[in-house]
Amino acid sequence: MTCPQCNAVLPESATFCHSCGSPIRSVSFSYLPSGTPAWPSTIPQRPLASAGATAQAGQEKISPTKPLPSRPKRSARSVLIITALFILIPLVGIGATLGTLWFNGEIPVKTVNSSIHVPPAPTQQAQTQQTPGTSTGTPTTPAQTNQLPTPASFQTATLAEVGATLKYPTEWVKDAPQSTTNSVVLAFHPQQKNGIDLFVERFTSTTSAKLTSTNDVNQNNLTSIQNAQGITNFHTISSSSTQVTIGGAQWDEQDATFSTTQGTIFHLTTMAVQHNQLYYDILFYAPGAVYNEAVQKYFLPMLESFQFQS
């Protein structure tokens, strides 16, 4: 290193010239070419406007995309209300229609007899005949005798469910009562099913209040049998009812005949009475070929023994 004043040779670590006494400044090494301005030691500040715009631009770039507004969700309560309306509106319409039909008497009061199943007789020798001079084709069967066993004796049954007593053959079976909201029914029949049955029915006070006469009861029984599955060729024997005395009361009677899908012809009898503001009916049937014999051996003794308990 040389002194810039006197060009005296000086060591690299000298801080002043030993010859002329001039101070020596150390020159820092730089990769920059000569004449190049010194590298700035501090970062110059940017203008405020530029800095604000840059910060705002950076913030806009960093900020996430604004989400689209979501559709409002329906609450569970509103969904239940809408569902209930869809269900209740048709039900209300159906209920109103049925109520109008019932009030106008277009829907008859049903009884347990509508579910009675008529079994075919095990043997049937009668054939369907048409009454000469008629066009309705009412089935008739020639009466036969000594086809049914004669009961050895009759036993008394207290029918607490209907408030009456009745005698029936000891060889027969008394089924358990069938109760509904309309009535209670008791059934009697031989141990071996042969198409011979007798039913005793008492209607409830509510149902009895809806009935206007014994004719309603008999007509309902006839309609129930006529509409039962497997019943064909149904005919009423007489349009007007006759009266019979049972248990000291006058009962109205109506008869009809019908056929089953197996070709068996049956004779049906229904009787009805109003006793102590309640309606009762007794319904029995048998194959037409043995109907008269069944009446003499079974049905008539049972009817003659029938007595109201109150």
Q: What is the pLDDT of residues 113-161, one digit of tens each?
A: 333 344 433 333 333 333 333 333 344 444 556 889 999 999 999 999 9
Q: Could you give the CA distance from residue 109 to residue 180 in angstroms, rounded to a whole number?
A: 12
Find the DSSP H helices in the chain.
48-62, 76-103, 205-210, 214-226, 291-294, 300-305
Chain centroid, CA 49 distance in Å: 78
Is the pLDDT assigned to residue 107 strictly greater than 50?
A: no
Residues 137 and 233: beta-carbon distance below 8 Å: yes
CA 69, 71, 76 angle in degrees (round to 5)?
145
Note the pLDDT of residue 83: 64
Q: Please provide residue 199's backbone torsions phi and psi, each rounded to the nearest 5 degrees.
A: -125, 140
Give just the sign of the alpha carbon dihedral 235, 237, 243, 248.
negative
| Highest mean pLDDT out of 33-47, 132-146, 235-249, 263-277 | 263-277
Report the percentage of the chain scoring pLDDT > 70. Answer: 58
Note the pLDDT of residue 46: 55
Side-chain-facing half-sphere of 184: CA atoms under 13 Å: 12
Question: What's the average model confidence in pLDDT over 19-38?
Answer: 61
CATH architecture of 136-308: 3-Layer(aba) Sandwich (3.40)
Report the percentage of the chain scoring pLDDT > 90. Answer: 49
Note the pLDDT of residue 240: 61
